[in-house]
Amino acid sequence: MNHSHRTLTSLLITVTAGTLLLMGCGTDDESPRSTEPSTPSTVDTNSADTVAVEALARIFSWRPADEPQGGSLARARDLLGPTLLTVVDGYASDSAPPRTSLQWAHWRDTGARVDAFTFASAEPSGDTDPARIQHRKIGIEQTVVYPDGDTESLPPTAVIATLIRTSDGWRLDTYQ
């Protein structure tokens, strides 16, 4: 097993173990568990996988009662490359109110939040310049959590994340 494959395998095991730990820990408290993404100081920007997973967890975790639709992108700002920073800055300076989907409005009105669990695929990326640009397939599972504790799983999805190397480490530049 080569070093990069061992590193990716270790990352996947760590993420899976952490998720299982969070899912398995019960309390007598009836309040919903928080799955807030890490704070900027805890993210290892020397790892493209870690940056992709963390940035997309922030982007796909939504707080409809507290932010406009699309507002979650700003929470990942410290992990974004120039392409997505342009989107965030353009969104912030847009004078037109954002369009809200019916589903978003329902979640907002009920006080629900959407938590995202993200993970990197072990599939090789085929990067041609891995020192400067890397691509990662990232799986995303989202769960709607209502204030009464009810949950609803949204259909899982995957995106291809493009990461670029900056002087401050890896940054998520685009995803599709």
Q: What is the DSSP code string of 34-73?
A: P-PPPPGGG--TT-HHHHHHHHHHHHT-B-TTTS-TTGGG
Query: pTM to 2 decimals?
Result: 0.74
Of these ranges, 27-36, 62-71, 96-105, 111-120, the one predicted with the greatest mean pLDDT is: 111-120
pLDDT bracket for residue 27 (50, 70, 90): very low
Q: Both tokens of residue 173?
A: 């530049």
Domain ranges of the chain: 3-18+43-175
The confidence score (pLDDT) of residue 37 equals: 53
Dist. CA 170–CA 64, nearest whole Å: 29
Looking at the predicted structure, is the pLDDT value of residue 42 above 90? no
Looking at the predicted structure, is the pLDDT value of residue 48 above 80? yes
Region 50-61 average pLDDT: 97
> What sign for the dihedral angle of Cα 169, 67, 71, 11?
positive
Region 5-19 average pLDDT: 36
What are the distances in angstroms from CA 71 to CA 58, 88, 91? 10, 8, 8
- The answer to whether residues 69 and 101 touch, using CB atoms and an 8 Å cutoff, is yes
**In degrees rounded to 5, what are phi and psi of residue 53?**
-65, -45
Region 116-129 average pLDDT: 85
Q: What percent of the chain has pLDDT over 70?
A: 73
Q: Both tokens of residue 156?
A: 């899982």
The confidence score (pLDDT) of residue 9 equals: 35
Region 78-82 average pLDDT: 96
- The answer to whether residues 137 and 121 touch, using CB atoms and an 8 Å cutoff, is yes
Query: In this structure, are strands 113-120 and 157-166 parallel, antiparallel, or unpaired?
Result: unpaired
Question: Any idea how long the chain is?
Answer: 176
Dist. CA 110–CA 151, nearest whole Å: 12
pLDDT bracket for residue 1 (50, 70, 90): very low
Looking at the predicted structure, is the pLDDT value of residue 10 above 50? no
Nearest alpha carbon to residue 106 among 146, 75, 74: 146
Q: Please, what is the average pLDDT of the chain?
A: 79
Its CATH class, for the domain covering 3-18+43-175, is: alpha beta
The confidence score (pLDDT) of residue 54 equals: 97
106-120: pLDDT as tens digits: 999 999 999 999 999
- The answer to whether residues 78 and 169 touch, using CB atoms and an 8 Å cutoff, is no
Region 16-40 average pLDDT: 38
pLDDT bracket for residue 153 (50, 70, 90): very high
Break the chain down into helix, strand, coil percent, rounded to 5. Answer: 40, 25, 40
